[in-house]
Amino acid sequence: MPETTVLDCRLVLCEPAFFASREIDRLYLTEALVGNYALTYALGLATSPYATSYHRPQYAAEMKRLVEQGVYVTPAYPVSRPRFKVERFNVQTETYWSTYTNGAILYDLAERGKTKPKPYSNNRPQQGMLKMMARGMELRFFAFGLAKADLPGYIRLGKFLSKSRLDVVERRAVLQPHEKYEVTGYFNPLDLPAETRIEVCNVINIHPVPVLQSVTCRGPVWKLDDQSLLPAGMKFRFGEQ
C-alpha cells in the first residue's frame, strides 16, 4: 500500500479574522472557514504582486509551481462550534470637515452648508457591520507534499491581515482502495480527481469556489493515523483535469 506524510494543521486565531464571504446590503459576513486558495497565499506558498494592471486573480499561474511539486492544501474548517464577533465600521476621509450623503462622502468645503450638495457618483460602503470569526477560534486543515519546516509558526489571514498561530502535526497516511467514506473536514470540489464520486454533501457558497461540507464520497482515500479520511489525488486543478 502506498504511504505518504500529511501535515495536520491547526489554526488558532489570535485576532478576529474577516473574509468577505457574503455581502448583504450593510452586512459583511464571514463564513466559518478559510478557502484553500486564501490559505495557500497566507501560508506563503504562493505570492501575488502588490499591484497589477489586470484586476483579476491569477491563481493558476501563481500556483503552477505547487501543482508541479505535488503541494496541496485543503480548506480550513472549524474544529468546534464556530464563534463570531460582530463589529460596526464607518469610513472617514482625511479632511477635517466631511459629511455623508447617498453612496458617497462629501469633503469639498464648497459644498458646506448647501441644503442639496452636489451628488457624487461613487458607490462605496460608508458604514456597515462586519461579522468576523472570533479571536481564539480554532480551524483545521491538511497539507500534502510539504514538510513541517516549510510552514511558518504564525500567518496573517483575511482582509485585515489578522494574526493566527499555526500548530502542525505530521501524520502517516495509507492509501485505501475504492471505498465509500465520509470525508474529514471541508473540500474544494474543483480539486477532486475524476474517479472520486461525490454522493452526499452540503455546499457553502462562497467566492471564488464553493466549499463542500459533510461529504460522503466513493473513490480512493488516504487514511491518516488518527483515522481521518481524505480523498486521494487532490490537487489545484482550477477546473481542469
Nearest to 152 by CA among 165, 138, 140: 165
Q: Is residue 116 part of the contact set for other proteins (CB under 8 A)?
A: no
Cβ 96 to other proteins shortest distance, Å: 5
Among 61, 86, 100, 180, binds other proteins (CB under 8 A): 100
Q: Is residue 98 part of the contact set for other proteins (CB under 8 A)?
A: yes
Q: What is the Cα–Cα distance from 210 to 92, expressed in whole angstroms?
A: 34
Among 48, 52, 58, 99, binds other proteins (CB under 8 A): 99
Among 106, 130, 139, 234, binds other proteins (CB under 8 A): 106
Q: CB count, 10 Å around CB of 129?
A: 13
Are the CB atoms for 211 and 30 separated by under 8 Å?
A: no
Q: Is residue 112 part of the contact set for other proteins (CB under 8 A)?
A: yes
Q: CB count, 10 Å around CB of 91?
A: 11
Q: Is residue 127 part of the contact set for other proteins (CB under 8 A)?
A: no
Q: Is residue 29 part of the contact set for other proteins (CB under 8 A)?
A: no
Q: Is residue 95 part of the contact set for other proteins (CB under 8 A)?
A: yes
3-state secondary structure (DSSP) of residue 177: strand
Cβ 138 to other proteins shortest distance, Å: 32
Q: Identify any residues that bridge with 90 across adjacent strands, giving them in sequence order.
A: 127
Q: What is the Cα–Cα distance from 140 to 12, expressed in whole angstroms?
A: 9
The x, y and z cell numbers of residue 139, run together, are 480551524
Q: Evaluate the CA torsion angle 215, 218, 220, 222 in order and state its sign.
A: positive
Q: Is residue 96 part of the contact set for other proteins (CB under 8 A)?
A: yes
Q: Which one of the spans 5-13, 98-106, 196-204, 223-231 is the region binding other proteins (CB under 8 A)?
A: 98-106
The x, y and z cell numbers of residue 171, run together, are 501524520
Among 97, 136, 169, 200, binds other proteins (CB under 8 A): 97
Distance, CA of 151 to chain centre: 17
Are the CB atoms for 236 and 66 separated by under 8 Å?
A: yes
Nearer to other proteins by C-beta: 79 or 105? 105
Cβ 113 to other proteins shortest distance, Å: 6
Side chain identity, residue 140 = R
Cβ 109 to other proteins shortest distance, Å: 5
Q: Is residue 107 part of the contact set for other proteins (CB under 8 A)?
A: yes
Among 81, 94, 123, 240, binds other proteins (CB under 8 A): 94
Nearest to 146 by CA among 91, 70, 209: 70
Among 2, 49, 113, 177, binds other proteins (CB under 8 A): 113
Provide the binding-site residues for other proteins, judged by CB under 8 A. 94-100, 106-107, 109, 112-113
